[in-house]
A and B are shown apart, each in its own frame.
Chain A
Amino acid sequence: MEHDLRLTVFWIVHLLMLGLFALEVLFILSVWLRSRVPGVPVEASRWRKLGAAVGIALGILFSRRIWTLLRSLVVDGMFHRRLYQKNTRRWLAHIMVFGSFLLLGILSTITGVVVEFLPLFGMSPEQAASLPVIGQLFHADVWWVALLNELLGLVVLAGMILIIIRRYVQKDPQLRTISADHIMIALLTLVAVGGFLAETFRLLADYTTPAGLFAPAPSMLSPDKFPPVLIPAWGPQWGFVGYALAWLFGLLKIGPDVWAVWHNVFFWLHFVVVTALLYYLPFSRFFHVIMSPVIVAYNTMSGQEEHRRHTAAEQKAPQAAA
């Protein structure tokens, strides 16, 4: 039960942290509202400005403009079309890190929902794990979940290596490196590397026999942790990097209790680093992760509308003259 309790604590703390992060962002938003909002006098209250800003947003959401906005949000905000057009290698490095973290975040969130929240509504682990597709996210040792996590982690690492080479080895002249960049790059790399180590020690804690032998078998996990419905899909070896590392460490013949301690250390270290990243986000250049998709979508939409208006006016002018 120790493992489950730790995950429960993790999710409670994680949600609290997310709440605090939301408060941090709301505080920044409240300061932003000292700026000007179209259609509202500059001296108007922040509530009135917020109302006007929400009105503008709703006006877009419930109009045809939403399709242009969504298209741009996906093409420019998520897939970074402009960067792709500019430089494929830089785009690749960026999308490797951004896209993989995004997907890993989505996978973790679904796992959190399946493991921690569905039981709150009376669903047993067996029932939760039986749900189509998302049920299999109940445990990281389902073969395709292990493989996906592994591949995404590797892609993040490869992307980080490309970023580090460009910034510190090639020293691209258009980059400006400040101390905050070192911190961010270190934190991101730590998240990726720490994720692999946490996974390695989890495998060792779960699959090491009391005699210190690393001998994975689904029967070594309790039915609450790994519901029997998932047994046909069991395949931790698909998480090949973590698995290979676990096998190597397993040669040390250390008992599972020691590995459990190591796992705890790396699990919480991983959590602390991710949380630090989250809190630092609004004060670092990485706030762009949230703001740039919004801005690029909005500005591209506005730019296209402006272009269409202008083209229409240019076409209309000679006709009117005729």
Chain B
Amino acid sequence: MSRNEKRVDLSHFTLRQMMELEACTRCGECIETCPTFAEVRREEIHPLQKIAQTKSFWKADHLGLLARMFGIRPASEGDQQTYSEGVYRCTLCGRCHVVCPVQIDTRPLWIAMREQLVDWGLYPEIFDTLQARITTQYNISGDDNANRLIWSQNMEHVPEGLAGKKDAEVVYFVGCVGSMYPRVYSVPQSMVQILERAKINFTTLGGEEWCCGFPLEIAGMGQHAHALARHNVEAVKATGARRLVTTCPSCYHTWAQEYPRILGKPFDFEVLHASEYLAELVDRGQIKLHGFKQPVTYHDPCDLGRTSGIYDAPRQVIQAIPGIQFTEMAENRELALCCGGGGDAEMADAELTAAVGKRRIEQAQETGAQVVISACQQCVRTLMEAARKNRIRIKAQDLTEVVWQAMQE
């Protein structure tokens, strides 16, 4: 692709984002809170630099002589490559938005930058594989999508009507990580057992569940997610369910925020994250919690907390467990540190995201907890890995696993 073809296409950005780029005061608040920059101190990674580069690029490409007069030069291939490396080494955790004095809505801005980079062909090659897997196999692992319920095979008792039940009230949308990654099979296993014990008339979409499209959306390949959105919505509608519950915060965000935008209309069913639904079941007395022996802490998943604004529901559920010893981490809620597993950053730089995970698991360890609870199978997977690699004696568990365990004790 020639330099001329690598002009900034402003249609990747919204008018509000164009204004946000100019609203950046370069105060640097975002720099010290950026979890990936903290690990490698590479300038192209932090938010301030990404914004400064984007501004410089579009001005050089669209303001012509006026830009040259003020010393703004067109970007070289090298500049664009470095920019790409910075933009894809971001976990999209959104902590920069929280500390930004101007409240720039950073996460969508980083995604818009990725869309531009996809246009330029400057993105990690592995994303082509990801796109191919999702658009042909309909899941992120590339396995046969008919195996979506593989996690249920080693259950002692498989709940009835696990897939394709027509008169279910609730559809449980498992998500790719829970469905396809053995390390977190226990998340959907716990969830369906809780639902069955609570006498909820539920089902899953089984092989008809397609990837929600979130990994493509955040990679800057959102246009490929539209077909997935249409399919999933139709599949849920076909069940006649009134509610959709998901244990994955990324799926939850996509269903609650992105699908209505993509499809241009709201659904006639409600979308809930499992933590909200569990809080509701506890509140209604449909779940009886008996206790949980180990001291715990809670890790706020970025897509559930900062992106979706759900902080209280998981805490309500945890604190409803009789006798539980719960301690908050130093950085929690809006300022919670990312686990490193978000934003597809792991695909761009696995070492970097592992370093972020290490820092987070150490924060969990500092609380004295033996279990770090999260409400996201991706966070659980990442934190589990960080604990294992760094030989930190702490267990990472999903909220559903803890709840199911608390129902047994």
24 contacts between A and B (CB under 8 A): A27-B63, A27-B66, A32-B19, A35-B10, A35-B14, A35-B17, A49-B15, A174-B29, A176-B26, A176-B28, A179-B71, A283-B67, A288-B23, A288-B26, A288-B102, A291-B20, A295-B16, A295-B19, A296-B102, A299-B105, A307-B309, A318-B279, A318-B283, A321-B283
Residues A321 and B23 in contact in the complex (CB < 8 Å), given A32-B18, A174-B28, A176-B28:
no
Complex CA distance for A299 and B102, rounded to whole angstroms: 8
When each residue 257-294 of chain A gets 1 if its CB lies under 8 Å from chain B and 0 otherwise, what string results? 00000000000000000000000101111011011101
Contact B67 A34 (CB under 8 A): no
B72 at the interface (CB under 8 A from A): yes
Give the segment of A36-44, A127-135, A208-216 that binds chain B. A36-44
Residue ID in chain B nearest A283 by CB atoms: B70
Residue ID in chain B nearest A288 by CB atoms: B25
B104 at the interface (CB under 8 A from A): yes
Residues A284 and B70 in contact in the complex (CB < 8 Å), given A176-B28, A296-B101:
yes
B62 at the interface (CB under 8 A from A): yes
Chain A residues 162-191 with CB under 8 Å of chain B are: 172-176, 179-180
Contact A174 B31 (CB under 8 A): yes
A3 at the interface (CB under 8 A from B): no
On A, residues with C-beta under 8 Å from B are 24, 27-28, 31-38, 42, 49, 53, 76, 80, 82-83, 86, 90, 172-176, 179-180, 280, 282-285, 287-288, 290-292, 294-296, 298-300, 303, 306-307, 310, 314, 317-318, 321-322
> Contact partner of A322 among B16, B62, B101, B284, CB < 8 A?
B284
Q: Which residues of A contact B153 (CB under 8 A)?
A: none
Known contacts A76-B103, A295-B104; can you find 12 more A-B pairs with CB under 8 A? A27-B66, A32-B10, A32-B18, A33-B15, A53-B15, A174-B31, A287-B22, A288-B102, A292-B23, A292-B24, A307-B309, A314-B276
Complex CA distance for A298 and B19, rounded to whole angstroms: 11
Complex CA distance for A263 and B102, rounded to whole angstroms: 40
Q: Which residues of B contact A296 (CB under 8 A)?
A: 23, 101-103
Please give the distance in Å from B189's CB to the nearest CB on chain A. Answer: 24
Interface size on B, residues (CB 8 A): 49
- The interface centre, meaning the residue of A83, A174, A310 with most chain B CB atoms within 10 A of its CB, is A174
Please give the distance in Å from A49's CB to the nearest CB on chain B. Answer: 7
Please give the distance in Å from B92's CB to the nearest CB on chain A. Answer: 18
Contact A36 B11 (CB under 8 A): yes
Complex CA distance for A294 and B70, rounded to whole angstroms: 24
Chain B residues 259-280 with CB under 8 Å of chain A are: 272, 276, 279-280
Q: Which residues of B contact A36 (CB under 8 A)?
A: 11, 13-15
Interface SS of A by simple majority: helix
Q: Which residues of A contact B24 (CB under 8 A)?
A: 285, 288, 292
Contact B23 A35 (CB under 8 A): no
Q: Which residues of A contact B279 (CB under 8 A)?
A: 317-318
Complex CA distance for A80 and B310, rounded to whole angstroms: 27
Chain B residues 71-94 with CB under 8 Å of chain A are: 71-72
Q: Which residues of B contact A288 (CB under 8 A)?
A: 22-26, 102
B331 at the interface (CB under 8 A from A): no
> Contact partner of B284 among A28, A172, A318, CB < 8 A?
A318
Residues A291 and B29 in contact in the complex (CB < 8 Å), given A33-B15, A322-B284:
no
Interface SS of B by simple majority: helix
Contact A34 B62 (CB under 8 A): yes
Contact A42 B313 (CB under 8 A): no
On B, residues with C-beta under 8 Å from A are 10-20, 22-29, 31-32, 43, 48-49, 58-59, 62-63, 66-67, 70-72, 99, 101-105, 272, 276, 279-280, 283-284, 309-310, 312-313
Contact A176 B48 (CB under 8 A): yes
Q: Which residues of A contact B15 (CB under 8 A)?
A: 32-33, 35-37, 49, 53
Please give the distance in Å from A57's CB to the nearest CB on chain B. Answer: 11
Residue ID in chain B nearest A286 by CB atoms: B25
Complex CA distance for A303 and B62, rounded to whole angstroms: 31
Complex CA distance for A291 and B24, rounded to whole angstroms: 8
Complex CA distance for A86 and B102, rounded to whole angstroms: 12
Please give the distance in Å from A3's CB to the nearest CB on chain B. Answer: 34
Complex CA distance for A314 and B24, rounded to whole angstroms: 33
Q: Which residues of A contact B28 (CB under 8 A)?
A: 172, 174-176
- The interface centre, meaning the residue of A49, A179, A291, A306 with most chain B CB atoms within 10 A of its CB, is A291
Contact A317 B280 (CB under 8 A): yes
Residues A291 and B284 in contact in the complex (CB < 8 Å), given A34-B10, A80-B101:
no
Residues A314 and B284 in contact in the complex (CB < 8 Å), given A31-B10, A174-B28, A303-B103:
no
Q: Which residues of B contact A24 (CB under 8 A)?
A: 66
Q: Which residues of B contact A310 (CB under 8 A)?
A: 309-310
Q: Which residues of A contact B43 (CB under 8 A)?
A: 176
Q: Which residues of B contact A285 (CB under 8 A)?
A: 24-26
Q: Which residues of B contact A179 (CB under 8 A)?
A: 71
Please give the distance in Å from A126's CB to the nearest CB on chain B. Answer: 46
Q: Which residues of B contact A176 (CB under 8 A)?
A: 26, 28, 31, 43, 48-49
Contact B13 A86 (CB under 8 A): no
Contact A283 B59 (CB under 8 A): yes
Please give the distance in Å from B53's CB to the nearest CB on chain A. Answer: 12
> Contact partner of A28 among B17, B63, B312, B313, CB < 8 A?
B63
Complex CA distance for A189 and B31, rounded to whole angstroms: 27
Complex CA distance for A174 and B101, rounded to whole angstroms: 14
